A and B are shown apart, each in its own frame.
Chain A
Amino acid sequence: EVQLVESGGGLVQPGGSLRLSCEASGFTFSSSWMHWVRQAPGKGLVWVSRIRSDGTYTAYADSVKGRFTISRDNAKDTVFLQMNSLRGEDTAMYYCAKEGSSLDYWGQGTLVTVSS
């Protein structure tokens, strides 16, 4: 059974940093592209970032480019999202998702709140 478990969310002040983790199981992690998608409270889904299976290619939404960094550790079946220079508009539930037939499996999300 495919499982994705996010962690690392919490309350952070504007300008601060946070590192999210997503631990995967039930599939060959090292063969799968992985994504982060976020959803502000009461709002829609927004694609954030993706990383190639071997970690050699990454892409970002314009809204987070230069502030967020996606990475992965295939030995630990984990994908990360390092978030720096956080702003109020980054407040959201952050989901990791596996790319197979599109985004075919999602975690339950981790909540990030940016507030003073």
Chain B
Amino acid sequence: QSALTQPPSASGSPGQSVTISCTGTSSDVGGYNYVSWYQQHPGKAPKLMIYEVSKRPSGVPDRFSGSKSGNTASLTVSGLQAEDEADYYCCSYAGNYIDVFGTGTKVTVL
């Protein structure tokens, strides 16, 4: 149950796009279409942004999109806004009813 690998940080100017990667193995990210992404502001609970690789919950702006290729999933935030500055975590099902989170990425809006 090793954590999925994410870059520690990413940044972009307002209006630009930023993409965060989430690398696992064929036993987790690559093996299932159950990758989700969570946004967490300081001192707050995580919030679901993307589920099942690319689906958006009601209320999440369409600026947020998800994809997957092989063992790597990605979250793209387009048209960056100040309120997008937060920590982002990926999560994947890993079989046997086990889930595994990524190491987390801090997104900074310059």
Contact = CB atoms under 8 A, between A and B. Distances in A.
Interface of A: 35, 37, 44-47, 50, 57, 59, 61-63, 95, 101-104, 106-109
A50 B97 CA distance: 8
A95 B89 CA distance: 15
Interface string B94-107: 00111111111000
B36 interface: yes
A45 B48 contact: no
A44 B101 CA distance: 8
29 contacts: A37-B46, A44-B102, A45-B38, A45-B91, A46-B3, A47-B91, A47-B98, A47-B99, A47-B101, A50-B97, A50-B99, A57-B97, A59-B96, A95-B45, A95-B46, A101-B52, A101-B57, A102-B34, A102-B48, A103-B36, A103-B46, A104-B48, A104-B51, A104-B57, A106-B45, A106-B47, A107-B45, A108-B45, A109-B45
Nearest to A59: B97
Contacts of B98: 47, 59, 61
A44 B38 CA distance: 11
B68 interface: no
* Chain A interface main SS type: strand
Interface in B11-50: 34, 36, 38, 40, 45-48
Contacts of B89: 44-45
Nearest to A46: B101
Contacts of A61: 1, 98
Nearest to B1: A62
Nearest to A57: B97
A47 B91 CA distance: 9
Contacts of A103: 36, 38, 46, 48, 91
B99 A44 contact: no
Given A44-B3, A45-B104, A101 B99 contact: no
